[in-house]
C-alpha cells in the first residue's frame, strides 16, 4: 500500500467517514467494462450489425435489459458512427477468387495501358430518381406545399434503360433500349453505336480492348462470334465487379446532373432528351480522371483479397 493511500485513509477516518467508500455521483454503470469491450468486438467483427441486435443479445445471453439509446451512446463514446449500408453485389467465394485473379493479372498495368480500354455498360434512370422514401420537415397541421410532396406521374412515368460507352478520347454513343435487351439487340448496338464510337474518335480496333460485364447476352455464342469476326479483343472481366468499372461513376454523374436540372422531367421522352444533353456535355478530362483510377481499383481488390472495395 502506498504512502498516499495510507494518508488518505487516515484522513477519512479522522473526519469520521470510516473506511467505507463514499457515495459516488452519477448513475452507476449498467454493465462492466468487460461486457462493453465484448459488444464492441462483436460489432467490429460483424457478428452483430446494430444496436437493436446488441440489445437482444444482452437480454438473451447476458440477462441485461438496456435501452437501444444506451448502446448507441457506448458506440459513439468509442468512436463508432452510424452509416447506411452500401448496396453491393453479392460476392461468393468463387466471385472473390475470380476478382483476385483479375487483380493479380492486371496489377502491373499502367494508366496508359488502361487508356486502350473502351468501357461499356447499361444503366437504368428513373424519371424522379430513387423509388425510396424522401423526408421533409413541416409544422403539425400545416397545409401541403410543393416542398412537402414527392411528385408522381400517372402516365409517362417510370424509367428508361440505356447503353453507353466511353474512351480515353471522350464519351462514345449512348442509345435507349426499347423493351428487353437480348443478344440480337446487343449485337446491333455493337455494330452501330460501338463501331460508330471507334470511327468518331478515330480509334483503330486493333489498338483497343472492349470491356463488358458477364451478362449472358454479352457472352452468348453469337456475340463471341461477332467479336471474333470483327477482330475485337474483349477484356476478361470478373463477375459481380461493377466497382472495377469506371463507367459506373460516369452514370452516377449523369444522374446527379439530371437531378440538378431546373423544372420537372415530364416523361420518358423528356428524360431521354435531357440525358442525351448531359451525356454530350461530359468532357475528356472527366473520362481520363476515371480511367486514371484503375490502378488504384485493382490494388484495392488485391488488398481486399477479392472482396468488397470502396468504389
Residue 130's pLDDT is 42
As a whole number of angstroms, the distance between CA 87 and CA 251 comes to 16
As a whole number of angstroms, the distance between CA 238 and CA 56 comes to 39
Lookup: cell for 199: 470511327
Cα dihedral 214, 217, 218, 224 sign: positive
Residue 46's pLDDT is 79
Question: Other CB atoms closer than 10 Å to residue 121's CB: what's the count?
Answer: 20
Domain limits, the chain: 29-85, 93-131+151-303
Residue 155's pLDDT is 44
Q: Tell me the sheet residues that pair with 121.
A: 164
As a whole number of angstroms, the distance between CA 132 and CA 6 comes to 66
Residue 132's pLDDT is 46
Which CATH code for domain 93-131+151-303?
A: 3.30.420.10
User: Which of 144, 140, 96, 29 lies closest to 241 in space, CA to CA?
Assistant: 96
DSSP character string of the chain: --HHHHHHHHHHHHTT-TTSPPPPSSPPPSS-HHHHHHHHHHHHHTS--SHHHHHHHHHHHS-----HHHHHHHHHHTT----PPPP-----HHHHHHHHHHHHHHTT--HHHHTTEEEEEEEEEETTS-SS-------TTPPP-GGG-----SSS-SEEEEEEEEETTEEEEEEEE-S---HHHHHHHIIIIIHHHHHHTT--GGG-EEE----HHHH-HHHHHHHHHTT-EE----SS-GGG-THHHHHHHHHHHHHHSSS---SHHHHHHHHHHHHHT--HHHHHHHHTTHHHHHHHHHHTTTS----
Per-residue pLDDT of the chain (311 residues), as tens digits, is 566 666 666 666 666 655 555 565 656 666 688 888 888 888 888 788 888 888 888 888 888 888 888 888 888 888 888 776 667 788 999 999 999 999 999 999 999 999 999 999 999 998 864 444 555 665 676 665 555 555 554 444 589 999 999 999 999 999 999 888 999 999 999 999 999 999 999 999 999 999 999 999 999 999 999 999 999 999 999 999 999 999 999 999 999 999 899 888 889 999 999 999 999 999 999 999 999 999 999 999 999 999 999 88
Residue 167's pLDDT is 98
User: 102 near 237, Cβ under 8 Å?
Assistant: yes
Residue 131's pLDDT is 45
Amino acid at each position: 500500500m502506498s504512502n498516499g493511500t495510507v494518508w488518505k485513509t487516515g484522513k477519512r477516518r479522522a473526519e469520521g467517514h470510516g473506511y467505507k467508500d463514499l457515495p459516488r455521483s452519477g448513475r452507476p454503470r449498467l454493465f462492466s467494462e468487460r461486457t462493453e469491450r465484448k459488444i464492441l468486438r462483436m460489432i467490429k467483427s460483424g457478428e452483430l450489425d446494430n444496436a437493436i441486435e446488441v440489445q437482444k443479445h444482452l437480454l438473451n445471453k447476458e440477462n441485461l435489459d438496456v435501452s437501444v439509446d444506451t448502446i448507441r451512446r457506448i458506440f459513439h463514446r468509442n468512436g463508432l458512427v452510424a452509416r447506411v449500408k452500401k448496396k453491393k453485389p453479392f460476392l461468393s467465394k468463387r466471385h472473390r477468387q475470380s476478382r483476385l485473379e483479375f487483380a493479380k493479372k492486371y496489377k502491373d498495368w499502367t494508366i496508359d495501358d488502361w487508356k486502350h480500354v473502351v468501357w461499356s455498360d447499361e444503366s437504368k434512370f428513373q424519371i424522379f430518381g430513387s423509388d425510396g422514401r424522401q423526408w421533409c420537415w413541416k409544422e403539425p397541421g400545416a397545409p401541403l406545399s410543393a416542398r412537402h410532396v414527392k411528385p408522381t406521374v400517372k402516365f409517362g412515368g417510370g424509367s428508361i434503360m440505356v447503353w453507353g460507352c466511353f474512351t480515353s478520347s471522350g464519351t462514345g454513343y449512348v442509345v435507349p433500349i426499347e423493351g428487353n435487351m437480348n443478344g440480337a439487340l446487343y449485337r446491333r448496338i455493337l455494330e452501330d453505336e460501338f463501331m460508330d464510337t471507334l470511327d468518331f474518335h478515330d480509334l483503330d480496333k486493333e489498338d483497343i480492348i472492349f470491356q463488358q460485364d458477364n451478362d449472358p447476352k454479352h457472352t452468348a455464342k453469337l456475340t463471341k462470334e461477332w467479336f471474333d469476326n470483327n477482330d475485337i479483343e474483349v477484356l476478361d472481366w470478373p463477375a459481380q465487379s461493377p466497382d472495377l468499372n469506371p463507367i459506373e461513376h460516369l452514370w452516377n454523374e449523369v444522374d446527379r446532373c439530371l437531378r440538378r436540372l431546373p423544372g420537372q422531367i415530364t416523361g420518358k421522352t423528356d428524360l431521354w432528351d435531357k440525358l442525351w444533353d448531359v451525356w454530350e456535355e461530359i468532357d475528356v478530362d472527366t473520362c481520363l480522371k476515371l480511367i486514371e483510377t484503375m490502378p488504384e481499383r485493382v490494388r484495392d481488390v488485391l488488398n481486399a483479397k477479392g472482396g468488397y472495395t470502396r468504389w
